[in-house]
Structure 1
Amino acid sequence: MSTKFRHDWIRAQARKTGKVTATHIAAELGVAVQTIRRDLRELCAAGLLERVHGGAVLPSGVQNIGYGDRRASNREAKLRIARRAARLIPDDASLFLNIGTTTEAVAHALHAHKNLMVVTNNLNVANILAENPSCDVIVAGGSLRRSDGGLVGDLAALAIDRFKVDFAVIGASAVDPGELLDFDPEEIRVSQQVIKAARSTILVADSTKFSRKAPVKIASLAQVDHFVTDRVPSEALINQCKDWGTQIASV
């Protein structure tokens, strides 16, 4: 059985059922689970599928995958990114953390920091940082997005407008050459306000975001001071970042 046959069959199943798992495909095709896992990795690397917990789905350019699947996706890389981003933030600093599973990982990585003031529109981040007694947490009010604990909309953006913080740590659903993209315009208004309200902006995004698409622009990478990721992006993007003064850290 050729690799092309398996790849075509897997994509057809994903279109039919919405989600595919390595164990199910291996049983259906009568091949080793390890072979199918390799196929899924190759399809995801090519942007033809998107990894989720327990398998893969067809990538969507207009709708994000569920919070639970996002949280499980590329988990180890997100932890490395979070630890590296936390090293950019000194004690006695003010910062903003926005919505996202990678920014939540950054919140965990700040557990030993002292005398931080953190503003967030992410209830998960607020609960994580509440465990650090040396951290003051301010929650920006807004409309609650129950799917992931995000606070979005005009009220959240207005709340951010009252601050000038040292750092903004932001995530994005997609990094399309030179641009940061996301799905929800209500969330993006807040992220854009955060960038304006920060002296320095840190983007935390794992390499799966390089092959994703999303419909709404947050900002240009030219507005980012530090880009922390788990894999060196394309040479073209590296050169763009050099021109913009955006520093890339690959972990």
Structure 2
Amino acid sequence: MARTISKSVQNQIQLLLASNMTYEQVMERIPGLKKSTLGRQVIKGEFKTAKAAHQYLNGLGYTIGYFGVLKLLKSMNFRAKIKAKKPLLSKQHKERRLAWAMAHKVWITDDWRLKGDQGSVMVWGCITHDGPGYVCWIHDGTMKAVDYVNILETTLMDSLKYYGYNPEDIYFQQDKDPKHTSKLAKQWFVDNNFTSDHIYSWPAQSPDLKPIEHVWHHLKLKLSIYDTKAKGVHELWERIEKEWNIFTVDECRRNIDSMSDRCKAVIKAKRGHTR
């Protein structure tokens, strides 16, 4: 439920608006009423629609229209989307989906670049049906085959050890980047007892088929609602690591369990884009 504010604060808001300040300037002027507050409430699910956010801001005394709220949310990296219709899942359906995922122990991996005002950070991360694996910072900003193998040897294997998994039980998925499919990487998987037909590659130019793409997007949203910008790449990395480690098991499972629906969407779209 949206909090209430005192009459004196409401009067202060009205005075600032009357002095021709924009609503964004007012939000930065009044303590506790920053854009990040609105962002946190959207991410937590307190506001399901832009209309709900609009009503909340109007209740605080902001003279902002509905389309102004849409613009504000867009500036915070939120996008409007019509909720997709999904088939009803019975208890039996859910049990079968869970059994499949648990049997396959799917690992989804990727590397991604996160930008800040003072630079960018390239990271590598992985998710599993049991939660997020470890994430690492690729300091040079580029990754070669030998660097990738080093990440597999350390970050991936540490993640496997954390969850108590054996490499031969893992269904490992990555994209077709040359460093991922290099002879060096392929030999590493053989040497470390990964089952060859359990190593999958995403089709090129197919972010809609990558469950971890949604995890990166959610991470970006979390970083965008900090009250202050990261002062440098080290502070940006600290925030990335903190937010990554609080991804829940349910969040990872929702993305991985959507793989079947993604494949069906590709077939329905006759191999074209699904979104």
Same fold by TM-score, threshold 0.5 exceeded?
no
| Larger fraction in helix | 2
| Larger fraction in strand | 1
Larger radius of gyration: 2
Q: Which structure ranks higher in relative contact order (CA pairs < 8 Å, sequence separation ≥ 6)?
A: 2
Q: How high is the TM-score relative to the length of structure 1?
A: 0.30
